[in-house]
Amino acid sequence: MTRAYFGTDGIRGKVGTYPITADFVLKLGWAAGRVFSRGRQDPVVLIGKDTRISGYMFESALEAGLSAAGVNTQLMGPMPTPAISYLTRTFRADAGIVISASHNPYYDNGIKFFGADGLKLSDAIEHEIEAEIDEPMTTVDSARIGKATRLMDAAGRYIEFCKSTIASQMKFGGVKVVVDCAHGSTYHIAPHVLSELGATVVSMGVSPNGFNINEGVGATKPEALARAVLDEGADLGIALDGDGDRLILIDHEGTIVDGDEILFIIASARLAQGELRGPVVGTLMTNLGLEHALAPFGVELKRAAVGDRYVMEMMLANDSTLGGESSGHIICRDRIPTGDGIVAALQVMEAMRASHKSLKDLRCGMDKYPQTLVNVRTRERVNPNQMDSVQALKTEVERELGGQGRVLLRSSGTEPLVRVMVEGADGDKVKRLAGRLADAVRDALDE
């Protein structure tokens, strides 16, 4: 069944444009509350948010909708998405909700859900919520209206959890790190985690004002961090996105280390410790270089559809402990059942300290294939695989790559974009072919 509102990562869009409106989010909170309260006494749902100005409005709307459905809420305030996953489980809550549009600009927002197990919701539960949205909104008897409380020590609880994901004796004394929090929900958490573990911390992107989230900083714009690492003479840089579930690293020479390379580093460390279980799970976008780097160790790379929820589904199906995306969603399932930028960064820093190697040295074990990604903006969501002219050119491009590369055309699950990806051994050829395919998509859209 096609979902009417949910995409690959919750519901997302421009604030004030349906469905990212106060009235819809009120109804969404009520609908979700109806589903999460079935068969439960005194149901509880946690609500966290990032630092967007619209978070105040949507937090109140969700709280009201959930209360009308008879659900108690605990308000976490600004907290990373993975923190809500963790706290939902530790509080034995029935669900967790995050108000965030992740790496998008401030004028977008969205709603993400976690089940009681800390995992993203299944398609089936999302369908149940959507079915309730179509029903007339009612209010439970006054004696059953949900109550709302605010948890004041949520950040401290999550900081301690993050520290617990590496060896208890591990310290980072003598390591200088620049951390970029994207003016997002990790601004009051990531610097404390690192400094409490002994690192010398230089912070940036830690002054949110409701409007500057992801603006020129963070995991999607790591160039400012790369300059800061060089200026500070730091050992590495850590770039998180607005809701803290994405990670990009910078080595001491200012070179970007993406999600595929981070997966390789953590996989190598887990292998050395005898802790890697199952295949490593990537996506259709994962670089061929990771697949080739893992093969000599007898480790298989499996590819899921793009989206961390699909990575997790494949990880669960294969009992895998490590998976993620090129964009920096890294899931260390032996630590937390969702992508967590801070936790993943700590695993890499632990690998650096344990091996006495720099981040540059650790990433050298993987040779990336040149890969070009072109985003073609559309007025509405379209399927490029149904464009005959584009498919004909795709076949021609694959023939020109001669089996030494890949072509991927897909519609974004979070934005009105068609993503065109070409990968191969020859970087100039890859760039040229990606441009041709992107032009073909634009021409097809104009027809």
Signed CA dihedral, 227, 232, 235, 240: sign only: negative
Strand partners, 239: 180, 248
Asked about 102 being catalytic, the answer comes back as yes
Contact present, 222 and 251 (Cβ < 8 Å): no
The C-alpha angle with vertex 370 and arms to 368 and 374, in degrees rounded to 5, equals 125
Annotated catalytic residue, options 102, 185, 203, 327: 102
Distance of alpha carbon 419 from alpha carbon 444, whole angstroms? 14
Signed CA dihedral, 112, 114, 118, 122: sign only: negative
Q: Indicate the residue type of 298.
A: G
DSSP state of 426: -
User: First CA to last CA across the chain, in angstroms?
Assistant: 29
Spell out the residues 6+ positions from residue 295 whose beta carbon is closer than 8 angstroms to its own: none
What radius of gyration, in Å, describes the C-alpha atoms of the chain? Answer: 22
Q: Are strands 108-115 and 95-99 parallel, antiparallel or unpaired?
A: antiparallel
The C-alpha angle with vertex 432 and arms to 431 and 438, in degrees rounded to 5, equals 90
Best CA proximity match to 336, nearest among 308, 359, 363, 303? 308
185: which 2 tokens? Answer: 């929900």
397: which 2 tokens? Answer: 């491009």
Distances in Å between the Cα of 316 and the Cα atoms of 215, 253, 279, 311, 319 are 35, 37, 11, 9, 5
Catalytic residues: 102
